[in-house]
Each structure stands twice: as C-alpha cells, then as structure tokens.
Structure 1
Amino acid sequence: MTSVLYDNAGPKARVRYRSYGVLGSIVLLAIFAFVIYRLVATGQFSARRWEFIQYSQIQVLLLNAWWATVSAFLVAAVLSLLFGAVFAAGRMSDHRWVSVPSTAIVEFFRAIPLLILIFILYFGLSRSLGLNINTFWALVLGLMLYNGSVLAEIFRGGVRALPKGQTEASYALGMRKTQMMTNVLLPQALRAMLPTIISQLVVVLKDTALGFLILYPELLYQARYLGSQPNLSSPILQVGLVIAVIYIAMCLLLSRLANYLDRRTKRSRKVGPLDPTAVHDAEMEVVAASSHGGGGPS
C-alpha cells in the first residue's frame, strides 16, 4: 500500500527504523540517568532542600498561588470561548460591515505576541492612560484577546470544513442562517473541534505563568519568590519541580475532561435501529399528503 508522499516501509526498512527507535530510547535514557546522577551528586534530593514543603505558611502560599492561577485561567477560558464564538460568527457574516471589522480584529490580535498584549494592557493603558487595570485583569484580558482570536479561527475552520450539503439542505428546509448555525452546523462542528479547543485551553492555562512578569501572584511568581529565600537554602529547583507537577496535573485533568466529553458526544450520536413498520407508515403518509396537495380535481 502506497501513501501519497512516500512508500510504506518494507521489512528491512522496518527493522532499521526499529533499531533507530531503540538507539534513540537508549540515548534518552542515558541523558536522563546522567541528569538524575548530577542532581543526586550535588545534593538536590537531600532532605534539607525539600523541608520547605513542610511549613504550613508555604503550603498556604502555594495553595493561594494555585487558586490565583486557576481563577485567571477559568475567567480567561470563558471569555476566550465567547470572544472566539462572537468573532467567528462575525467573520462568517454575509454583511461586509460585520465581516470586515471582525476579520481585522481577529488578525490583529493573532499577530501580536501575548506578552506584548499583557504589557500594553498593564503598563500602557493602566499607567500611561490612567485606566485602573490591575494585574489580574491585565493578564485575563491579554489571554482573552490572543487565545480568543485563535479560537475564532478554530471555530470558523470547523464550520467551513463541514460538507456544503449541510448548508444547502438547511436552506431547502426553510431555515434562516441563525437557525442553521445553531441547530445544524455548530453541533457537528463542535464535536470535530473539541480536541483542538481543549488543546488551546491547555495553552491558556500554561500562559497564565506570564503573569509573574507583571507581579501577578500566580504559581511561577511564588516559585521565584520561594526559590530566592536563603533561609530555605534557595530551593529554586525543588520549588520549580513542585510547580511543574501541579501544572502537569492540571493539564492531565483537562485532557481527561476532553476524553470524557468525546465519549459523551459519541454516545449521543448513536441511534437505535429503525423500525421498518414505522418507516413504511411514514412513507405512506408522505405519498398521501403529496397526492392530496397536487392531484386535486381541476
């Protein structure tokens, strides 16, 4: 069997690729073992460097930082989804006075790096123009503008990827465009776009770490603070590993949520077998209605 871009590997090529895979795995394991060895040799796993986690004040500090991260993520995620849905609909509008500005806004905010957006919102608008924007809203609005623009393209691409027959059938049934979008196109597109949407929300979660640059007290900000304390033996690596585990756990929870939603949507698409008697009765009703409607006496 041949692919479009390349031929499938033969027996010798498969053996060669398998050998490359084994060799690459051995190299990666060797690098990992060397890193662990150096960490042990330099005392990074000694109890003295990890005793900071036993203090209740530090546990509360990390818990507050975790909640600051989660709260910024939740608000930014909801606003990004709303922003993306609104401007995706605007880009697909038949009215140019709606589609052109929507396209300009989406392309503009997609082109600006997120960090620059956060700086503009916090230092530019808040300090230069006198607007009272705190660190939380500067971070959230920056995440919303950038990721919402990306989600707008995801939504638009998902709807455009559906077969044109869906749109034509909806218009043939007398649906308006709003009804067609909400009842026919969006439910199908959301199922296909769900993995990409969750992936973008994972990006939103990880990008909350940029808040430490404007002194928002999230996980990375507190990690830098704790790691620079000499009375705790400056455990920057240890605190970084703890923060990394927290982020990994949150991202895995999002992935589990995506898998759960995917299973739910697959179950909702399953339908039972049709009853032949019911189908026959429905066909006879359609034939009778058409004969009464078009075959009356002249």
Structure 2
Amino acid sequence: MDVLSDVIATMRAGRPRCAYVRWHGPWGQRFPASIGSAGFQVILQGTCRLVPPSGAPVALGVGDVVFLPHGHGYGLADSPTTPLAEPACDPLDDSDPRACATVGRPGHGAVTVTLCGGYQLDPGRAHPLLDDLPNLIHLPARAGAHTDLQAAVDLLGRELAVPRLGADTLVPALLDMLLLYILRAWFEERPERGPATGWAAALADPAISAALDAIHRAPGQSWSIETLGRRAGLSRAAFSRRFTALVGRSPGTYLTWWRLTVAARTLRESDAPLGEVARRVGYTSEYAFANAFKREFDTAPGRYRRQTAHIPPEQIIPGSRPTPWDEPT
C-alpha cells in the first residue's frame, strides 16, 4: 500500500459515520470535542458559518468541505450571531444516522443542507502524518478544483438523501473515499500555502517520498539505510540526514516502528501464526520479533492478539516455536 492509504488503514477504528442534515434557519449547533475522532462538514445547499474554538468564524458555501482531524470541538450556525445549541445530533454516537435527517431548530428562514460525520481513530496508533495536519482544513469549492472530491461528495449526498438497496455497503466505502480525497487535496494544495514542513515536505520531496513508498509497499523487505538511500537516489549520509529532518525519525527508527505497527494490525485482523507475522514484517526470527514487539507495545504479541483481535479466539492458530535472536537490518 502507498503511504497515505497505509496511514488511514492503520489508524481507522470501526465504521465511519455520517448524516444528511437539513437545517431550518435560524439554527446553530455545538459539536463537542471528541478524543480519537476526526470530523467533517460538507455544504450541499445554502450557506453557514463554522465557529472554531478560537479565531474568527469561517464562511462556508455550497461545495465547501471542512475537515477537523484532531477531534476539536466547533460550532455551526446560519449566522455568527445565532446562539449555539447543545447537540441534537451526533453521527458518531447515534445508532441510526438517519435520525439526524430532520435536525434543526424550528424556523422559517433559509434552508442549509450539510453532510456531517466523522471517523473513529485509535489514538494509540497515531501516525505522525496526521499529527502534522492543522486543526482545521477548509477546502473551498472552486470551479475545476478537486473534481474527484466533489464527485465523491455528490455520490455520498445522493445515497444519504434517498437510501436505496446496497446503501449500507456503499456509504462506508464512499466515506473512506471522501477522507482520502480530502487528504490528497490538502497535500496537493500545500505548496500554495508557502514552504512545506514536516510530513507535507516529506511527501513532496521526491527522494524521501520514494523511500517512504518503498517501506510502506514492502515493509518485510530487508531494507537497510544503503538500499533505501539508493531508492531515493542519495548517498547513505545525505539520505539519512534528509529523512530524519523531514520525517522526524531516523530511517531505521521509522522502519522498525512501521514494521511493528503493521504487525499489530495483522495480529488484530488475522489468525496468521506469529512466525508468519514476523516474516511479513521483516523478522526472520519469531523470538526477535516478540522482543521488539514487547519493547514497542509493552506486551507480548500473543497477549496483544488475545486482547485486541477481531477474530474469535478459537480460530487463532498458535505461532511456531521461537528461534534465536535475529534482528532485521
């Protein structure tokens, strides 16, 4: 998998949720902070104002997309002067997202239609790429811009406005598309906002991006600083310096961390024997893998699987017998 797809697959927890909401003016609602979630708002009809925790309200119009990756609270209202009521609808908590479809304070003013919702993220598996994102990402609608994102918004809006057969499968898939298109649009626009830093700069740097792509597409390969440097087209020393400066970790440290992150996901989502999990992420020794995993997660891989697995315990196949220590390069 590529870097962005990998990050989302690793951090996502549970099914994304959303609702198609018609607001009748005057209206205003507070959306409380939610640790371990990322929220979004898409304006399908009318206009409104997003009220951040600090700073001036943000004017939103048809086609605008707002993404809040860190779960900070905010308000949404038809006017900056409209009081914000306590939540009447929270798609992340409501068991039936369609219950939000008629939310809005009684009124005879203009109608605003929004798609609101969010994604549950596991804070214990936070990736620095998402940590680097700002508290608020606003992607205003512009003619000819973000056509893929707008297409996903249109499809999602239609599925929620008039639910049809297959919606329970289509809507989560469209929400995943929406998230990836939002992040892709933000990273592609990043150079317009001035010099990139952190992960935005790493992904924009052809050399470092090539090395990251190699790690994420084949975490089990016997990568070394030299082989990754050759993939990046740099000398060992130059590659190590640039990678560390942009990513915030040395190549070896990031490679080990990512391998163990992938291993943890594999333990949760499959019944593969521990020896096979170890080999998938570049360890030729189950013993070495178990020790590295325990250092990172403070628990043995077998116990981690029993505590977090998404499969019945009786279906788990025991791993192979441990062998002597053999750390990957």
Provide the TM-score with structure 2 as the length reference.
0.21
Task: Choose 1 or 2 for highest CA Rg.
Answer: 1
Instruction: Give the structure with the higher percent helix.
Output: 1
Instruction: Give the structure with the higher percent strand.
Output: 2
